[in-house]
Amino acid sequence: MALKTEPFVLNLGPVHPSTHGVFRMRATLDGEVVVDIEPIFGYLHRGVEKLAEQRTYTGIIPLTDRLDYISAMNNNFAYCLAVEKLAGIKVPERAEYIRVIMAELQRIAAFLIAVGAFLNDCGAYFTPFLYMFREREKIVDLFEMVSGQRLTYNYMRVGGVSQDLPEEFLPALRKFVDEMPRFIDEYDRLLMQNEILLARAKGVGILTKEQAINASASGPVLRASGVKWDIRKADPYSIYDRFEFDIPTGTVGDCYDRYRVRVEEMRQSLRIIKQAMAQIPSGPVRAEVPHLIRPPVGEAYARIESPKGELGFYLVSDNSIAPYRCHIRPPSLINLTALREMVRGWKVADLIIIFGSIDITVGEIDR
């Protein structure tokens, strides 16, 4: 005999340690089972798209740092590619390699945070998170060396990068690349076969191939569902067609697959960095670009594979010094739309894990 119960509405957030920022979910529960969920965002809205309409093309780059603040280099990269496409600027060879090295380092750093935070949500409280922060610190040290800051780098410019690498950068990077695989193995040993993690993450929050494609999910969320889609391979931007790397994919599309895909991608990023380090030429790092860029009338869309998925910048120019319209396609927001399908029928404790496995940054969702 089933007892007739009333659905209960639970607000998770906006200030909740497991919502990764100021993000709110209104969950409708039946007992402990999630019946429905409604993500409510906008608590971190700063109006970046509107602000961009009043700034020069160079002045927008600091704004893009603050979108997905844990992978600021990738945001710079996507924006600069969009402006270069719009204005038809050719980037010097050395700058392209520097950009790729920076983007891949940033990808590793972002995945370290994503995996650490996911394990944190699973209950491995802060131990793996802090181990991963130690490795991230090494990457952040390298970023500080080249750009002078640790979070909002503002390193890439339209037509190249702001400054050349200092001479102590490449030896330090080589040391990092040599050491890092050992640490990734250590993370594997730490929790990859942990029985509690397997029990909590395997088969939980399954997003099928069809659902993932229908929700136009991208990045690790899509690849964990078994779709071999990576913009670096499918639509190579910059110089990614020169490097050899694999696209790790999952099989089922559960939380464990998403976690494993991220760890595997760190290894692939290291492979790309190794190849880029071997091939990097010398030369100028910045093309001759006027101080105030006035691109011809038109529009351009440039996309990259950011750690979260497909990050796109759509710019419309009216031949003035500021864009007429700047639209950002944030991967976190699009991936979040698949959350409702993933969590239905799971318990509240699983909701936290499933949400953590999508890996969102609220700065990017609200913009």
- Binding site residues, other proteins, CB under 8 A: 55-56, 58-63, 127, 131, 134, 137-138, 141-142, 144-149, 152, 154, 162-164, 166, 168, 172, 175-176, 179, 186, 189-199, 291
Cis ω before 171 (30° cut-off from 0): no
Smallest gap from Cβ 140 to other proteins, in A, equals 9
| b/e sequence 29-63, b meaning 16+ C-beta within 10 Å | beeeebeebebebeebeeebeeebeebbbbebbeb
Q: How many CB atoms lie within 10 A of CB 222?
A: 30
Min separation Cβ 105 and other proteins, Å? 12
Torsion on CA atoms 179, 134, 185, 260, rounded to nearest 10: -130
Supply the minimum distance, in Å, between the C-beta of residue 99 and other proteins: 18
Query: Nearer to other proteins by C-beta: 10 or 151?
Result: 151
- Give the single-character DSSP code of 2: P
**Would you say 261 and 104 are in contact if contact means Cβ atoms under 8 Å apart?**
no
Nearest distance in Å: CB 174, other proteins: 10
CA atoms of 171 and 150, how far apart (whole Å): 20
State how far the Cα of 45 lies from the Cα of 366, in Å rounded to an integer: 5
Residue whose C-alpha is closest to residue 332's, from 5, 44, 32:
44
Nearer residue to other proteins within complex by CB, 65 or 366: 65
Residues 212 and 207: their CA atoms lie apart, in Å, by 6
Give 32 or 186: the residue with its C-beta nearer to other proteins: 186
167/299 Cα distance (integer angstroms): 39
* Cβ at position 157, least distance to other proteins in Å: 8
Which residue number, 4 or 189, has a Cβ lying nearer to other proteins?
A: 189
If the CB atoms of residues 39 and 160 are measured against other proteins, the closer one turns out to be 160
Minimum Å gap between C-beta 301 and other proteins is 23
Min dist CB 133 to other proteins, Å, is: 9
User: In terms of CB distance, is 28 or 58 closer to other proteins?
Assistant: 58
Of 26 and 286, which CB lies nearer to other proteins in the complex structure? 286
What gap in Å lies between CA 68 and CA 73, rounded to an integer? 9
